Structure 1
Amino acid sequence: MTDPGAFTEDAFLGGQLRLRQPKSGHRAGHDAMLLAAATPARSGDRVVDLGAGVGAAGLAVAKRVAPIELVLVEIDAALAGFARDNAASNAIAADVIVLDVTSTADAFAAAGLAPDSVDVVLMNPPFNDPTRHRASPDRGRETAHVATVATLESWIHAARRILKSGGVLTLIWRADGLAEVLTTLARGFGSLAILPVHGDAATPAIRVLIRAIKGGRAPTQILAALMLKDESGVPNKQVREILTGKGNLPLAMA
């Protein structure tokens, strides 16, 4: 459980979004903003951020697309408390639910997330391979970053269950785990669009952003890669625009 006592207040989207988050443990950063910039929400959509943490990705989507019906789902009650406060301090309406993403359909329904009731799901599941990831002494950080064998399957199953037919799932995952993502998404999802994310042009991809449609049948697309840094080692123009809330990724244009 996260200690809510020590926290920082950090600016995102060029200061448009200010978030309190714990000093230690899992902290929101670039992955959350990239995920938000890849999420194709539209005004009026019901949007659910699974494993929301302090609410960074979901609140960033709400800043870009208004109004939406935003739901932030987080297992850690202290982080959920931060998410609730962050929504209020940024004047964003959000329903914050303390719930394990791997819970049963009945538990989701009792929390207001019935099957086939959501337009968009976004998620940044724990994705580090436990066989190659050195365990963190911080339990919150470990829970947020390290995947078990069933993590990906259970999170995607939860998204599939609550999404309407034709609903959209957007997720971020480590690039070397792409094969397992594609295998898991094959059950119930299609029309995939994949965006590789590289640290720079000289190194392999470190992340993949994926948009999938529940029941989609269109061919899979692999989009032009996103380079986080240019040749001089600074964030490139597209990344700077995303981080300052002035740009989106092609995945958001479904």
Structure 2
Amino acid sequence: MIELMGEVTEDAFLGGKLRLRQPKSGHRAGHDAMLLAAATPARSGDRVVDFGSGVGAAGLAVAKRVAGIKPVLVEIDEGLSELARANAIANAIAAEVLVLDVTSIAEKFAAAGLLPDSVDVVLMNPPFNDASRHRASPDSARAIAHVAAAETLDGWIHAARRILKSGGNLVMIWRADGIADVLAALGRGFGSLMVQPIHADAASPAIRVLIRATKGGRAPTCLLAGLVLNDEAGRPSLEAKTILAGERPLPLAMP
């Protein structure tokens, strides 16, 4: 299957601690996946599920940081799933890879071993570009990964809510200008929200938001200080370099 995907590259993440094969063209893992992993509050023994995992970048990065977890990588694309399996083996990470549409009915999730109320943590980087405002890529895989239908967000959050245990955590990354949609969707069944904006530089509005939400949580929403990716000269900030190298997690990952 991998041979059918065309040319692939091997890229280093987490300061070289994680190496991933991924398609040379189309959707490619980058900073978003590593930031998502750094925001994930997993502990040894947790059942951690990565929705829309692609080649496994975020889920495998969590497993590199937290010993004692076997991430479940859920991806609709069979070719990317094969790469995820190969990447897990190459990085000596025990992972389960499921070819599954995140918006599938509960019975299909159960048949794949993802029963209701059975998971500690779900992390996800859903397609988040508004189709009405963004021209879809001519590359079909890239378009699927980036452009959301009207029901995409609700469907992904509903699936996470269904499989999470009470008190389990959902962690996601989304475009900053769509935060109102995320907060509305999370209002059904989630609380204790923590939100961290991500800025390209200190002078620019946030481009992304990382959000942690607890199933059944009741604590007030907490807005954290933003993470600035680049300094005034356009170089990666020290904080961003530390996070992206896997040297420490983001505050959302703290208990």
Q: TM-score, normalised by structure 1?
A: 0.98
Q: Please give the per-residue CA displacement for 1:156-175, whole angstroms capped at 9, x wherever unaligned.
A: 00000000000000000000
Give the C-alpha shift of residue 230 in structure 1. 1.2
Between the aligned partners of 2:244 and 2:153, the Cα distance in structure 1 is: 27
- Match for 2:68: what amino acid? P
Do residues 142 (structure 1) and 143 (structure 2) align? yes
**Mapping for residues 148-163 of structure 1, pairs under 5 Å:** 148-163=149-164
Q: Which residue of 1 aligns with 2:125?
A: 124
Cα contact 1:169–1:211 (8 A) shared by 2: yes
Between the aligned partners of 2:45 and 2:122, the Cα distance in structure 1 is: 14
| Identical positions, percent | 73
Cα contact 2:70–2:93 (8 A) shared by 1: no
Q: Which runs of 5+ in 2 are unaligned?
A: none
Q: Which residue of 2 aligns with 1:87?
A: 88
Between the aligned partners of 2:75 and 2:62, the Cα distance in structure 1 is: 17
Cα contact 2:46–2:69 (8 A) shared by 1: yes
**Mapping for residues 70-219 of structure 1, pairs under 5 Å:** 70-219=71-220
- Match for 1:84: what amino acid? R
**Mapping for residues 45-64 of structure 1, pairs under 5 Å:** 45-64=46-65
Cα contact 1:238–1:247 (8 A) shared by 2: no
Please state whether the residue corresponding to 1:228 is helix, strand or coil: strand
Between the aligned partners of 2:200 and 2:145, the Cα distance in structure 1 is: 22
Give the C-alpha shift of residue 243 in structure 1. 1.5
Q: Please give the per-residue CA displacement for 1:74-129, whole angstroms capped at 9, x wherever unaligned.
A: 00000000000000000000000000000000000000000000000000000001
Q: Which residue of 2 aligns with 1:43?
A: 44
RMSD: 1.1
Please state whether the residue corresponding to 1:69 is helix, strand or coil: coil
Please state whether the residue corresponding to 2:196 is helix, strand or coil: strand
Between the aligned partners of 1:153 and 1:250, the Cα distance in structure 2 is: 26
Q: TM-score, normalised by structure 2?
A: 0.98
Give the C-alpha shift of residue 248 in structure 1. 1.1
Between the aligned partners of 2:141 and 2:29, the Cα distance in structure 1 is: 13
Between the aligned partners of 1:154 and 1:63, the Cα distance in structure 2 is: 29
Do residues 28 (structure 1) and 22 (structure 2) align? no
Cα contact 2:195–2:222 (8 A) shared by 1: yes
Q: Please give the per-residue CA displacement for 1:152-193, whole angstroms capped at 9, x wherever unaligned.
A: 000000000000000000000000000000000000000000
Cα contact 1:172–1:209 (8 A) shared by 2: yes
Give the C-alpha shift of residue 5 in structure 1. 2.8
- Match for 2:88: what amino acid? A
Between the aligned partners of 1:210 and 1:134, the Cα distance in structure 2 is: 26
Q: Answer with 128-137 or 112-121: which moved more.
A: 128-137
Q: Please give the per-residue CA displacement for 1:11-30, whole angstroms capped at 9, x wherever unaligned.
A: 00011000000011100000
Q: Which residue of 2 aligns with 1:6?
A: 7
Give the C-alpha shift of residue 247 in structure 1. 1.7
- Match for 1:87: what amino acid? A
